[in-house]
Amino acid sequence: MTVDLISVDDVEAAAQAIAGSVVRTTVLPAVWAPGLHLKPESLQPVGSFKLRGATNAVSRLTPEQRARGVVTHSSGNHGQALAYAARVYGAPCVVVIPDTAPKIKIAAVRDIGAEILMVPPSRRAAEAQRLADERGLTLIPPYDHRDIIAGQGTVGLEILADCPDVEVVLVPVGGGGLASGVATAVKARRPEVKVFGVEPELAGDAHESLERGTLVNWDVADLVRTSADGLRVPLSELTFAHLKARLDGIITVTEAQIAAATARLVQRSRLVVEPSGAVASAAFLFRRDQMPQGRTVAVISGGNVDPAVLSVAATA
């Protein structure tokens, strides 16, 4: 099956569409880890990079589609982002959330004003589709959507602008939308820069898929083992095609390494970071042998962390 990939033109159009609605986060040096720079998407109004794709997608809906409303399925971050973007554009929003999601993320979606439906993790996509069909809502999935991928790719454009001498970019991988977009932008403008996805060993479906050269789906029961709850989702055919064409590889990290990186970011960079957001930094700290040496930017994808987890990271 041939998949139509997005282009850097799509990413640049998204950058124009979201300007003024999304924070342009600044690349920061990690003085405690020489050679490492951080792209803290945890500083977005909803605490994650997801606001970029959600805003781009909602901006492209017709007035009639906005009036009917939007629906998605999300463990929390995309749900918050879509609820926020929908509120800006005056569109009703429904979020289907797996019942394993952290309470802090559920509360945040509710506080923004979205309607919430809690379901078992294996039912999230099907329930979102059912609501779309029954109510005439527009389904905007977390990553399996060209406008979402293009919006997330604006992270890559900003990395190149703020750190023109970057040599390696590390990006968390769950469903693959962020890595697809970032790799598209970076490789189009600076093909010599190496872009690696990073995921937990306990949710290593993307790593296995790229090694085999075909999309491999892990059971939801396996994916939920990782503490990185934002990465407990499989790739889609669309994101796999992007990663296969444009990533230089996938690096996996252990749960202990994720916890250690989270603690380091909280304590040394004074950032609120969720485990999903720490995996790219964990690769730099513990898997340097699996990547080229050189100036590296690690994307911190989000900071919507359970207070108990943050407390442990702050005192570890």
Q: What is the pLDDT of residues 14-68, one digit of tens each?
A: 999 999 999 999 999 999 999 999 999 999 999 999 999 999 999 999 999 999 9
Q: How confident is the model at residue 224 (pLDDT cuts 50, 70, 90)?
A: confident
Rounded mean pLDDT, 115-143:
95
The pLDDT score that the predictor gives to residue 226 is 95
**Statement: residue 170 has pLDDT above 80:** yes
- 71, 93 Cβ separation under 8 angstroms: yes
Which tokens is 33 given?
A: 């880890």
Cβ burial of 308 (10 Å; 0-12, 13-18, 19+) is exposed
Q: What average pLDDT does this structure show over 181-196?
A: 98
What's the average model confidence in pLDDT over 142-162? 97
Point out the least confidently predicted range of 16-25, 79-88, 301-310: 301-310
The β-bridge partners of 48 are: 302
SS3 207: helix
Q: Is the pLDDT of residue 169 over 70?
A: yes
Q: In whole angstroms, how large is the CA radius of gyration of the chain?
A: 18
More confident residue, 85 or 224: 85
Nearest of 95, 145, 99, 93 to residue 122 by alpha carbon: 99
pLDDT at 1 (0 to 100): 65
Percent of the chain with pLDDT over 70: 100
Q: What is the pLDDT of residue 121?
A: 87
Instruction: Tell me how far apart the alpha carbons of residues 209 and 202 are, in angstroms, rounded to a whole number.
Output: 14
Task: State the CB neighbour count (10 A cutoff) for residue 287.
Answer: 17
Distances (CA, A) of 28 to 69, 196, 264: 37, 19, 15
Phi/psi of residue 6, nearest 5 degrees? -75, 165
**Catalytic site positions:** 50, 301
| C-alpha–C-alpha distance, residues 97 and 205, integer Å | 21
pLDDT band at 297 (very low <50, low <70, confident <90, very high): very high
Does pLDDT of 240 surpass 70? yes
Mean pLDDT for all residues in the chain:
95
- pLDDT value at residue 307: 78
Share of the chain above pLDDT 90, in %: 86
Centre a 10 Å sphere on the Cβ of residue 302 and count the other Cβ atoms it contains: 32
* pLDDT for the residue numbered 171: 98
